[in-house]
Homo-oligomer: A and B are copies of this chain.
């Protein structure tokens, strides 16, 4: 059950039932070891991988981000997490299923060619043109690889939220033609690039898979660039007129051993 390209992604947010945990007594030590072993065994930089977090703000206790090439492996990793805990100790707060994907609005080879000729006035097939095109091709391939096989920086703060493009009245994204959508997404991407080095973002697709059309995972080293990028993008026409957002989950990156301590379990 592999995808034609890309990998499967699951975000899981749980609350610990502290009554069950308190009653589980010595079996909680086994739970700790099991979860630590599990995360160690799924620690490929890309996939299969389980990353652990503690949630901040009161919505949940523990958060997990799972990456797997095979759908059944992803499903198994999820079940292994649940099975690591004493029965009833893990109460689901929110979950999200998506897959990595290329964006149809990414710059194409044709876009780069045009830009070199029209904006930079390079002569087609001149040595400089050829070198610049080679460069562009390399960057496109790197970006495509990042979108399909992401390795997010291991920064302290992770924020997840799902989103839709609006389909209502005069603000119907799905009634716009491709050129208009590509142009609008270009402005959106420019805002994103301003935050390079401060916020790393991963957009995964979930139309037909979960209740929103995309999942957004942002990582940063502190909380304010998360707020700033989401706030600034809200004025961008893509978000202002077409963006619909689900719940926001803010989390701190935290290995399992530290998570127990953080949660005072």
A interface residues with partner B (beta carbon < 8 Å): 1-6, 8, 10, 12, 17-22, 54, 56-59, 71-72, 74-76, 78-80, 82-83, 87-88, 92, 94-97, 99, 101, 156-157, 159, 161, 167-172, 174-175, 205-211, 213, 218, 221-224, 226-231, 234-235, 237, 239-241, 243, 247-248, 250, 252, 262-264
Contact = CB atoms under 8 A, between A and B. Distances in A.
Contacts of A218: 208
Contacts of A168: 171
Contact of A22 (B72, B87, B161, B206): B87
Contacts of A83: 264
The copy count of this chain in the complex is 5
B3 A92 contact: no
Given A10-B57, A208-B231, 16 more contacts: A1-B223, A2-B222, A3-B222, A10-B58, A19-B87, A21-B87, A57-B96, A58-B78, A80-B264, A161-B208, A167-B240, A167-B241, A172-B240, A207-B230, A209-B226, A209-B248
A234 B99 contact: no
Nearest to A15: B92
Contacts of A22: 87
A162 to B, nearest CB: 12
Minimum-distance CB pairs A-B, first 10: A58-B95, A208-B230, A57-B97, A174-B240, A18-B87, A19-B88, A207-B231, A83-B264, A22-B87, A56-B75
Which of A74, A224, A231 gathers the greatest number of chain B CB atoms within 10 Å?
Answer: A224
A227 B172 CA distance: 20
A171 B174 contact: no
B210 A263 contact: no
A17 B19 CA distance: 12
A209 B234 contact: no
A56 B97 contact: yes
A263 B226 contact: no
